[in-house]
Amino acid sequence: MTADVHQTIEDEFSDYRDGLLDDSARKKVEDHLDGCERCRLAYDEFEQTVSALSDLHKMSAPQNFSSEVTDTIRRRSQGRFFGRKAFGDRIPFEWLAIAALILGLVVYLVIRSSDTGTLKYEGAPKNKPTKKLWDDSWQP
Amino acid sequence: MSLRERLLLRKVRQRDEKAFQEIVELYRDRVYNLTFRMMGNAEDAEDVAQEVFISVFKNIYSFRGDAKFSTWLYRVAANHCKNRIKYLARRHDRQKDQFDETIDRDQASGALMGPSSSPRPDARLETLELEQVMRAAIQSLDENQRLLVVLRDIEELSYEEICAITELPQGTVKSRLHRARVELRKKMTKYVKGR
């Protein structure tokens, strides 16, 4: 068996372990491992190493980690970060709409109450005597 | 992404402190585990993890929501780790053979469980030793290989997620990861044989 064969099998160790080989490739690796002690030992070491990695203790952040993060943000931004809003959020569209409505109403009332205002209500039109365009008494 | 997570992120965009704290609480351990495995010590890991969350808070608008939030968060964390590793390498001119030195020192003091060592009944001690040896071995990898090992073999993420985080094609991820595992196996041989 040439060294190339062993190397080809070793190149497949990761995919073999992760179950990424198709049936024929997997069988080829298994057949080789069954008949080659050197590769079998190499694979056992490989497998133990990768397993040891996943067995490593999962680290937890220190207990006061979250408060330290927010404290750092507050300190660096001198308190401006939290509560600071984006440009779109900073414009209070609802309040602007209400203010515009109130302003419109005020303008309307002012114009209406003004003496010269065109919106002034003058009551129903009274029956005025119509002025004749010509005098009926006139005789040619 | 869950509805609750979407709501929290929307509030974070409005600079809501409570929502941000909830996000930190949800992801702090995952981010810390990644930064710890990448940096190799608690002090740097905590510093980097803090910077990750500060960066998330500052740049939350750049998260468009078309990927999982955890994927984006891992990407931010990975970039911070790489930047810090490069910065530290420039500053301290780190020694390349740190791992070998650690092993030699441990072997000299009889701390390692080698084939010639007398077996110890204390399993916890053995686990601690394995942890130390593994940590040193992981640290000896370059930061790109280290990231893949941490994401795949420690965090146990899928290849699809790793590709999304690293923005590398799957073939590249697989080949780099395999090289990293082979390198780790070589460094761990002395220890693994004795188990």
- Mean pLDDT of the A26-31 span: 94
Cβ burial of A31 (10 Å; 0-12, 13-18, 19+) is exposed
Out of A42, A54, A73, name the one closest to residue B57 (CB).
A73
pLDDT digits (tens, 9 = 90+) for B175-194: 999 999 999 999 888 776 65
Does B184 sit within 8 Å of A49, measured CB to CB? yes
Give the confidence band of B117 by pLDDT, cuts at 50, 70, 90: very low
What CA–CA distance (Å, rounded) separates B30 from B34? 6
Does any CB of chain B come closer than 8 Å to the CB of residue A45?
yes
In a domain, A105, yes or no: yes
pLDDT band at A131, cuts 50/70/90?
A: low
Q: Do A52 and B57 touch (CB under 8 A)?
A: no
pLDDT at A80 over 80: no
Tell me, yes or no, whether A91 lies in a domain. Answer: yes
Crossing angle between the packed helical segments B42-58 and B69-92, to the nearest 10 degrees: 130
- Chain A, chain B: beta-carbon pairs less than 8 Å apart: 108
In a domain, residue A68? The reply is no
Mutate to test the interface with A, among B53, B81, B148 (most CBs of A within 10 A): B53
**Sequence-ordered list of residues with C-beta below 8 angstroms from that of B141, at least 6 positions apart, any chain:** B149, B180, B183, B184
Q: What pLDDT, on a 0 to 100 scale, did the predictor assign at position A126?
A: 64
Token reading at B154 = 């420690």
CATH number for the domain whose boundaries are B96-195: 1.10.10.10
Q: What is the pLDDT of residue B167?
A: 94
Which residue, A1, A33, A3, A2, is CA-closest to A16? A33
Phi then psi for A79, rounded to 5 degrees? 80, 5
CA of A96 to nearest chain B CA: how many angstroms apart? 19
Alpha carbon of B67: minimum distance to chain A alpha carbons (Å)? 23
Q: What is the ipTM of this complex?
A: 0.76
Nearest C-alpha of chain B: how many angstroms from A16? 11
Q: Is A42 part of a structural domain of the chain?
A: yes
pLDDT digits (tens, 9 = 90+) for A84-125: 555 555 667 788 999 999 999 999 988 888 777 666 666 666
Q: Do B14 and A52 touch (CB under 8 A)?
A: no
- Residue B195 binned pLDDT confidence (cut-offs 50, 70, 90): low
Residue A31 placed within a domain: yes
Nearest CA distance, B65 vs chain A (angstrom): 18
Do A48 and A7 lie in a common domain?
A: yes
- So what's the pLDDT on residue A10? 92
How many residues make up chain B in this entry?
Answer: 195
pLDDT tens digits along A43-62: 999 999 999 898 888 889 99
Q: Is residue A79 part of a domain?
A: no
- If one counts the domains in chain A, the total is 2
Give the residue numbers spanning the domain of A109. 85-117
Record the pTM: 0.71
Whether residue A27 lies inside any domain: the answer is yes
If you average pLDDT over residues A3-24, what whole number do you get? Answer: 91
Contact B37, B150 (CB under 8 A): yes
Cβ distance B54 to A69 less than 8 Å, yes or no, reads yes
A68 in B contact zone (CB under 8 Å): yes
Mutating which of A6, A18, A38, A53 best tests the B interface, going by the most B Cβ atoms within 10 A?
Answer: A53
Q: Give the class (CATH, top level) of B1-94.
A: mainly alpha
Q: Where are the domains of chain B?
A: 1-94, 96-195
Q: Does any domain span residue A75?
A: no
